[in-house]
Amino acid sequence: MRIPTKAASGGMAAALLILIAAALAGITVAIGSLLSDAAEEDAERFGLRTAETFAAITLEERDFAGGRIRTSAFVELRNATAQAEGVDSVTVWDSSREIRFTTGLTFGKGPDLPPAEAIWSGEPTSTLDDSDGLRTFLPIRPPTGDSAADVLEVQGSVDQLDAAIGSRRGNAVLIIAALAAILYAVITPAVIRGAGALAERQGFHRKALQRELRHAMEKGELRIDYQPKARLDDGRIAGVEALTRWEHPRRGTIPPLSFLPDVEQTEIVVPLTRHILEMALRQQHEWAARGLQTEMAVNVSATALTTPGGVEGIVELADAYRTTVNGGLTIELTETAVTGGELLEPLTTLKEAGIRLSIDDFGKGQSSLARLGSLPFDELKIDREFIAALDRNGGVVMVRTMLALGHRLGMTVVAEGVEWASTAAWLQKSGCDVIQGHALSVPMEPGECERWISEEGHSRLADLLSGPEKARRPDVDAAPPEIAAPAAALD
């Protein structure tokens, strides 16, 4: 019988390790493939369900005989898009491949590539890839069952879909990375590279977004519109909120919700915050030089405040542009951003620098009363969804509770999304301090906003509060059903 030598034993052990490594590598690839396939299937099912929801809105408001879609459908589609997790935009195409309506263009190829001709006569289709995200096309057929009169397209980015369908791709990355780490000492540098490549593909949109935003800052593609706010006690203008717009050379005007949420996950968040803040404060300074002093409110992400240099940059700009002399600066943070404990120090620093602090979209987050009372906020902004729901069951109670809470904590209370004169009148009677919304004014470019504040602001609020809906925004021809007549429910 042959006795194995040490060399032979070592060779056998190495071979065994190679076999084990190969088996684990195969398992890793199989798990990754299964999870990736499951994520795509979930995404496509999600897209079809979502498209059916939006198509139902369009069908309700579609006049097939007259060949048009009513304005109220566009309003509902915009509202539904803003509330739908995992959805970037909704587009309605007509049979000539022209866009009837779109809620905003997103990253990827976008609606500049019309859907195939077969979609009008075929079944719904849904595709998912890392560059375009999810694109779902759904024919909108008339009640007669004829060929589709329109096609509805729903677009969602990969990052948003991960949140909407459970982050299965993220789980795949973690599993592959963990197994690759186990195999590292043997023969698996390729597996590690594969895990890194998968993670890099997931970050495609954020990397592309950073590149495009850096270019946008350099080329002056970012602009700011300003929406006034008014005090309900004396009718004076309480300031303006700076609302960022991206004038993309190919995709047109991109609203902030289509790109700012993703910015929070990138290293560009601090320079972009500084760029936008400086644009707003420069405008405030120019207005003050012409005799118009008004408070400037700017939205800032929590990431920008907790990243090194973020708070210092804000204080530096506030000092450089003399905001305390020009009308003051308010930094707005959403309620969902203030649930952690790391914000107390940066918020206190801003407060000590004479900067007011506002908690935005209040009611949508999950902040506790103890947490809310411990942070140095000066202002509470009731989310527009609660203002729009004043004519529904429980709506009045919810808003009155928020008004009382804000005042008990010593805050100024602002109502966002005020669309109707009767809503403004009820808020005044209920003790709300400030209103903001299209009933008062739409967002405006700097010159128009300056003229509006100087010439129309005070009289506009007086008209708004003096009677029925005569003073509502002139560009709306029909009210969304949920807020058509809030006064009936508020009396």
- What would the pLDDT profile of 182-231 be if each residue is shown by its tens digit? 544 444 444 444 444 444 544 555 677 788 888 889 999 999 999 999 99
Q: Do β-strands 296-299 and 329-334 pair in parallel, antiparallel, or remain unpaired? A: parallel
pLDDT for 490 equals 41
Per the CB < 8 A criterion, the answer to whether 128 and 155 are in contact is: no
Per the CB < 8 A criterion, the answer to whether 269 and 277 are in contact is: no
CA angle (417, 420, 423) in 5-degree steps: 80
Q: Do β-strands 89-94 and 68-69 pair in parallel, antiparallel, or remain unpaired? A: unpaired
| Average of per-residue pLDDT values in the chain | 74
CA angle (409, 415, 417) in 5-degree steps: 155
pLDDT for 22 equals 59
pLDDT greater than 50 at residue 381: yes
pLDDT category of residue 1 using cuts at 50, 70 and 90:
very low
Average pLDDT value for residue range 149-154: 76
Q: Which residues contact 282 (CB under 8 A, 6 or more apart)?
A: 321
User: For a pLDDT cut of 70, what percent of the chain falls above it?
Assistant: 59
Q: Which residue has the higher pLDDT, 250 or 11?
A: 250
pLDDT greater than 70 at residue 419: yes
Determine the length of the chain: 491
Please name which of 489, 354, 329, 337 lies closest in space to residue 422, comparing C-alpha atoms: 489
Residue 342 has which token pair? Answer: 């790391």
Q: Which residue has the higher pLDDT, 130 or 397?
A: 397
Average pLDDT value for residue range 396-425: 93
DSSP E strands: which ranges in 232-325? 237-248, 252-254, 296-299
CA angle (323, 324, 330) in 5-degree steps: 70
Q: Please state, in angstroms and as integers, the Cα–Cα distance from residue 90 to each residue in 33, 56, 138, 305, 481, following that order.
A: 30, 13, 11, 33, 20
Average pLDDT value for residue range 161-187: 51
Q: Do β-strands 125-129 and 133-140 pair in parallel, antiparallel, or remain unpaired? A: antiparallel
Per the CB < 8 A criterion, the answer to whether 353 and 374 are in contact is: no
pLDDT greater than 80 at residue 302: yes
Per the CB < 8 A criterion, the answer to whether 229 and 414 are in contact is: yes
Q: Which residues contact 184 (CB under 8 A, 6 or more apart)?
A: 192
pLDDT for 477 equals 42
The answer to which of 269-273, 366-370, 423-427 has the lowest mean pLDDT is 366-370
> Coil, helix or strand for 211?
helix
pLDDT for 343 equals 87
Residue 278 has which token pair? Answer: 């400086």
